[in-house]
Structure 1
Amino acid sequence: MTTPCPLCDSARTRPFYNESGHDYRRCDSCGLLFMWPRPDAAFLADHYQEYLDPEPDAVRDWGLEMRHVVRQTADQVAARIGPVGNVLDIGCGYGFFLEEMVRRGYAVEGVELSKPAAAIARQKTGATIHGKAIEDIEPEEQFDAVTMFYVIEHVTDPLGVLRTVRSMLRTGGLLVLRYPNTTPIIRLCTPLARKLTVMQAPSHIHDFAGRSMDLLLEQAGFADFSTVTMAATRPRNLVKRGISTYTTLLSNTLATLSRGRVLLPGVSRTTFAANPARQ
């Protein structure tokens, strides 16, 4: 039986990858990589209770790994929405990005399904941290910016999530997505990808290659989107840190020289999009 693409509905999908017993298909029309069959909501709710390690060393290491990403993204958000505003961070984890925005004077809220991580974020920031799915949240006001660091690849219905996010943004509000670009790594060396569990199956349900991210944002109603590679993560492991730093530096150099037209495959990407006025 043909499994249609959940994003563009094309019948041109095919088996592409298997990791830890989970099958992924790739759409030849839009490039989306998606797990099939998808895990159900109850499974994921339980799964994410243990996804983030609450031990102090793990929290510290994650903060160090994401420090440059957090600061550079905060700079971009401030430049785009101005020196004041309110920010919602979906999948806020331990709260490092929220902490940075509070330090800069912004009002913040977070969303985090992991109860241990949400508790740490509350302690760090004193902010409201919603412990339920984004679709179940009813904010009291609209936000100037919504950020999602390494979240969109985890959700079963990314289109539905982004439509909900758009309803939470004021007109002209900013969406920031940071996500992996894993498909090229799988294509280059599938055995190595499987050994490294690059999809972290069953955690990563989608990978947005080809034109799939642009198509997703269009269907969700966003406009003026642009994609860059920005800062590198800094893993504690020196080999992984060296690879991350080198590939991101190379990607940023290529992007600069090509005026943004060339992004190195396999490097995490950050996409900015605006919520336009509704017609």
Structure 2
Amino acid sequence: MMLICPLCASVDAAPFHRDARRDYQRCGCCALVFVPPAQRLDPAAERAVYDQHENSPDDPGYRRFLSRLFDPLRERLAPGARGLDFGAGPGPTLSVMFEEAGHPMAIYDPFYAPDAAVLERGYDFITATEVVEHLFAPGEELDRLVELLEPGGWLGLMTKRVASPEAFAGWHYILDPTHVCFFSEATFTWFARRHDLRLHFPAADVVLLQRT
């Protein structure tokens, strides 16, 4: 069966890995590794997994985790820059951190904060931490986020990156049934070129893209 890459819509995908639970295809165009649609969770099962998350702005450990994106992005922002936290989850925290630093924030999450009106206005920066690996249609969603950025605006992403087939086979990241898309440096490089974005890798699992 021909599979369409959910990021670039290419049909140039080939088997990359297989385990007892799922198959993984790698796109020959953008290098995205993805799970076939038939092997994704349905919305109810997906939300049941997210409902188990216990993230909170009162958790210092969670704040330290998010600081890997927060710190390098904040130092690039003008005072009062307006942001959107996309995929904020059941316990929005990164938005709280930016608000504490003087940045007005909106939040969006399809399950927990589904106000689509916030996706109709522009932002100086947009964050998505541990989000892109969950997207069924990453091409459509990320293209939309880029369009919401004001000129010079920043898109800050946090997701672990594919290294090699050997590392992938033993990778804990693929054990989460809600993780269906896996990006590599090559994938982000392809995406940056597609949108003429400036690309930065400030940490192993952090990507910053600036709209020109």
User: How high is the TM-score relative to the length of structure 1?
Assistant: 0.64
1:203 pairs with one of 165, 168, 178 = 178
- Equivalent position amino acid for 2:10 in 1: D
Q: How does 1:1-279 map to 2 (within 5 A)?
A: 1-6=1-6, 7=8, 9=10, 11=12, 13-19=13-19, 21-38=21-38, 43-44=42-43, 47-53=46-52, 58-59=54-55, 63-93=59-89, 94-115=91-112, 130-131=113-114, 136-139=116-119, 141-184=121-164, 187-188=166-167, 190=169, 192-193=170-171, 196=172, 198-209=173-184, 211-219=186-194, 221-229=195-203, 268-276=204-212
| Separation (CA, whole Å) in 2 of partners of 1:97 and 1:224 | 23
- Judging changes above 3 Å, is the alpha-carbon distance between structure 1 residues 69 and 275 closer, same or farther for their aligned structure 2 residues? same
| Separation (CA, whole Å) in 2 of partners of 1:51 and 1:77 | 26
Q: Secondary structure at the match of 1:170?
A: strand
Identity of aligned residues (%): 19
Q: Secondary structure at the match of 1:48?
A: helix
Does structure 2 retain, via aligned residues, the 8 Å contact 1:30–1:210? no
State the structure with more CA Rg. Answer: 1
> Offset of 1:25 from its aligned partner?
0.9
- Judging changes above 3 Å, is the alpha-carbon distance between structure 1 residues 183 and 84 closer, same or farther for their aligned structure 2 residues? same
Pick the structure with more helix per residue: 1
Where structure 1 has 5 or more consecutive residues not aligned to the other structure, the ranges are: 116-129, 230-267
Q: Secondary structure at the match of 2:50?
A: coil
User: How high is the TM-score relative to the length of structure 2?
Assistant: 0.82
Higher mean displacement: 138-147 or 105-114: 138-147
- Equivalent position amino acid for 1:275 in 2: R
- Equivalent position amino acid for 1:211 in 2: A
| Separation (CA, whole Å) in 1 of partners of 2:137 and 2:57 | 30
- Judging changes above 3 Å, is the alpha-carbon distance between structure 1 residues 85 and 210 closer, same or farther for their aligned structure 2 residues? closer
Q: Secondary structure at the match of 1:3?
A: coil
- Root mean square deviation, CA, Å: 2.9
- Judging changes above 3 Å, is the alpha-carbon distance between structure 1 residues 168 and 38 closer, same or farther for their aligned structure 2 residues? farther
Does structure 2 retain, via aligned residues, the 8 Å contact 1:50–1:114? no
- Equivalent position amino acid for 1:23 in 2: D
| Separation (CA, whole Å) in 2 of partners of 1:141 and 1:3 | 33
Matched residue count: 210
| Separation (CA, whole Å) in 2 of partners of 1:38 and 1:182 | 22
Where structure 2 has 5 or more consecutive residues not aligned to the other structure, the ranges are: none
